[in-house]
Amino acid sequence: MTAPTPTRPVEVDHGRILLATARRVLSQLRHDPRTIGLLLVAPVLLIGLLAWVLSGQEGVFDEWGALLLGIFPLLVMFLVTSIATLRERTGGTLERLMTTPMGKVDFLGGYGLAFGAVAVVQAVVACAFTFGLFGLTIAAPVAAVALIAVLDALVGTSLGLFVSAFARTEFQAVQFLPMLLLPQFLLCGIVAPTSSLPQPLEAIAKVLPLTYAIDAMKQLTVEAEVTGEVWRDVAVLGLFIVLLVAAGAATLRRRTE
C-alpha cells in the first residue's frame, strides 16, 4: 500500500460517472451477443413476417409498417431495461453504487444514454430492412420515422427504469409488460381511432405515450411534409421521457429495507 491519504473532500464529476455508467451498461451488452441479436433481429423478423402476411393485399403493409416501427422499440426496450435495472437491485450492485458518490441522475442517465444508443442502432437496422428489403413506402422522409422510433424506445427505457422499482423479481417485472403495455396497444389508435373511443377511454388514451407515437407514425405514413402535429407528438414524447426519468429518480432510494 502507498502512503496514508488525508481526509479530503473530493470533487465529484457527475458527468464522468454518468458516461462511465453508460459505457459499463454497453460493455455488459457486448458480453451478451444473444441479447444484442434479439434487440436487433427480433423487430426485423416480426416486421418481415407482417410484410409477408400482408403481401397478398395491395397497399396494406404500407399502412401498417410504420405503426409497427412505433411499437417494437417501446416493447423491447421496456423489457430489457426493467430486467437490467432489476438485476442491479437484486444483485446488490445498486446498493453498493448508492454508497459511492454516484447521483441518482448519473445512474438513470447512464442507462438512458446506453439504451438510447442501442435504440438508435435498432431503429436504423429496423428502418433499413423495412424500407429497403420489405419495400415499405410512406409519404414522409424515413429519418422522421426513425426519430419517432428512437423516442419511443427511450419512452420504453424510462418506463422500464421507473417500473423496476415496483418489482421484486424478474418474474414480476415481466408481468408489468401486459399490465402497462397491452392497454396502451388497445387505446393508442391501432385498434380503433382514438377519436372514435368512448369519452373516458379517449381521455385515458391522451395521457399514454404510445398514443402520440402512433399518431406521429400515422401522420408520417400519409403526409409528405413533417406536420406541426408530428412535432407536437415529438414534444409530448420528450415530455413523457423527462417525467418518467424524474419518477424513476423519485423511486430510486439510497436507503432501503
Partner 1 sequence: MAGRDGSDGEPELAIEIRSLDVTRGGRQVLHGVGIEVRRGDIVGLLGPSGCGKSTLMRTIVGVQLGATGTCNVLGQPAGSGALRTLVGYMTQEASVYGDLTVIENLRYFAALVGADRDRIAAVLDDVGLAGQRDRLVSSLSGGQHNRVSLAAALLGRPDVLVLDEPTVGLDPVLRRDLWEQFRRLAADGVTLLVSSHVMDEARECDRIVMMREGRLLASDTLDGLLARTGTADITGAFLALVAADEQELAS
- Find the shortest distance in angstroms from Cβ 27 to partner 1: 5
Measured from the CB atom, is 64 or 107 closer to partner 1? 107
- Find the shortest distance in angstroms from Cβ 164 to partner 1: 17
Under 8 Å CB-to-CB from 217, ≥6 apart: which residues?
66, 67, 69, 70, 145, 148
Helix residue ranges per DSSP H, 54-129: 60-91, 93-97, 104-127
Instruction: Give the x/- contact pattern for partner 1 in 140-159, rule: CB under 8 A.
Output: --------------------
> Judged by CB under 8 A, does residue 255 bind partner 1?
yes
According to CB under 8 A, which one of 36, 46, 83, 97 is a site residue for partner 1? 97
Measured from the CB atom, is 9 or 198 closer to partner 1? 9
| Exposed e or buried b per residue across 202-236, where buried means at least 16 C-beta atoms within 10 angstroms of its C-beta | eebbeebbbbbbbbbbbbbbeeeebeeebeebbeb
Measured from the CB atom, is 22 or 190 closer to partner 1? 22
Determine whether 106 is exposed, middle or buried from the number of CB atoms within 10 Å of its CB (0-12, 13-18, 19+): buried
CA atoms of 74 and 125, how far apart (whole Å): 15
Q: Which three cell numbers stand for residue 51?
A: 410484410
Instruction: Give the x/- contact pattern for partner 1 in 19-58, rule: CB under 8 A.
Output: -xx-xx--xx--xx--------------------------
66-95 positions binding partner 1, by CB under 8 A: 91-93, 95
Residues at the site binding partner 1, with contacts judged by CB under 8 A: 1-5, 7-13, 16-17, 20-21, 23-24, 27-28, 31-32, 91-93, 95-102, 253-257
